[in-house]
Amino acid sequence: MKVEDLGYSAFFETNRNKLGLGDFAMARVIAEFKEAYRIKDADGEYPAKITGKRMFEASSREDYPAVGDWVAIAKADDDLAVIHGILPRATVIKRKYGDKVQIIAANVDVAFVVESVDRDYNLNRFERYFAIAQSGGVRPAIVLNKVDLLSREESDERRSQLESRFPGVDILFTSVVQNEGLDELRNYIATGKTYCFLGSSGVGKSSLINKLLGNPPANEAIRTDDISSYSGRGKHVTTGRQMYVLTHGGIVIDNPGMRQVGMGDASGGIDAFFDQITVLAKKCRYVDCTHAHEPGCEVTKAVASGKLDKEKYANYVNLKKEAKYCEMDDVEKRVKDRQFGKFLKKAKEGLKDLGHKDW
């Protein structure tokens, strides 16, 4: 195996040199435990710990290695490596709660946003996950799973719905039970690229990953024992996130932790995803237009004329408000809660004027 198969690229090599880490070997973090990591390089896998110095320097959770990170290591002996530094992340999937940031996965190329047809199917949810992905520089793709539960017509209808709502986003239809679309999924996954799976619990993320792994052979199953004998801790301290290199190439990160992901500080990602709205907003009369009820607002004008999807607009307003809220400190939140009540009222009136009944 080459380091490129593990996702190493010119981006990391440039940064490694810039940071003067040329003397260290590079490895990728494939699992994270409370005080230890499991890392992988071209030669194999090792447990690893971070140096006391690094720990001392780390001021926030983001300063610690996360699954998917490239780290500069020195092998203490055959069975243990010491992490001396983290290379800057090309992309990141993170969530924020309070003033804490948690890195879910680093250096992810594509986030599969998984939804299944048997649940309360909701197009807005896609945008929510897209925003999380894009705020960290990760490209989203749609996986609609359990299509075995749909008729041919229903399936075609879902597809055209998704295509018109999310132009430019790749869409894969899969069924784990009927082995449908799994080859497309495998072919979509490129050697040396990293993929994570986002989506609510029960949509079939683990089932899909197990299929991709061809049901994990023993050598890919996590060896928690190595870590516990080393750090004195058992398997209960793992975050549950784990990176796998697929036999046919490509890297997938399994993220049980993504189940409760909120909007975090995805504000930038929201704007990126709603390009159309961002472009329109530039032409609003007021620079700080909230696109609720202001005169000369191009966004509400576009909704009224049917150029902008009403649902999409409503979802934008919602996500924006949620992201803003996450970014504020507590005092601001209290003030905003009051102001926001007023804003929401206005926005609702605006939507009502536009004939949007469901708000």
Q: Which of 175, 267, 300, 318 binds ligand GDP (CB under 6 A)?
A: 175
Distance, in Å, from the CA atom of 314 to the CA atom of 355, rounded to the nearest integer, reads: 12
Piece in contact with ligand GDP (CB under 6 A), picked from 86-94, 197-205, 305-313, 347-355: 197-205
Q: Pick one of ligand GDP, Zn ion, none as the site partner of residue 291 (Cβ within 5 to 8 A by kind).
A: Zn ion
30 vs 317, which CB is nearer to Zn ion? 317
The interface region with ligand GDP, picked from 44-52, 126-134, 157-165, 199-207 by CB under 6 A, is 199-207
156 HSE (CA, 13 A, CB side): 3
Residue 18 contacts by C-beta under 8 Å, 6 or more apart in sequence? Answer: none
Contact 284, 294 (CB under 8 A): yes
Residue 149 in contact with ligand GDP, rule: CB under 6 A: yes
Structure tokens given for 194: 């990293």
Neighbours of 301 (CB within 10 A): 16
Considering the rule CB under 5 A, would residue 73 count as an interface residue with Zn ion?
A: no
Tokens 């890392």 sit at which residue? Answer: 39
Number of residues engaging ligand GDP in binding (CB under 6 A): 14
Q: Does 240 bind ligand GDP (CB under 6 A)?
A: no
- Of 87, 261, 299, 319, the one binding Zn ion (CB under 5 A) is 299
Contact status: 155 vs ligand GDP (CB under 6 A)? no
SS3 call for 354: coil
By a kind-dependent CB cut-off of 5 to 8 A, residue 205 interacts, out of Zn ion, ligand GDP, none, with: ligand GDP
Give me 241's structure tokens: 């996130």
Structure tokens at 280: 């329109």
Instruction: Using alpha carbons, list the distances in angstroms from residue 190 to 7, 144, 242, 247.
Output: 10, 20, 19, 12
Q: Which is nearer to ligand GDP, 175 or 318 (CB)?
A: 175
Among 284, 314, 319, 351, binds Zn ion (CB under 5 A): 284
Instruction: Assess 291 for contact with Zn ion (CB under 5 A).
Output: yes
Q: What's the rounded Cα separation, in Å, for the pair 126 and 348?
A: 23
206 touching ligand GDP, by CB under 6 A: yes
DSSP summary character for residue 264: T
- Is residue 176 a contact point for ligand GDP (CB under 6 A)? yes
Length, in residues, of the chain = 359
Residue with tokens 């320097």: 57
Supply the minimum distance, in Å, between the C-beta of residue 292 and Zn ion.
8
Which residues contact Zn ion (rule: CB under 5 A)?
A: 284, 289, 291, 297, 299
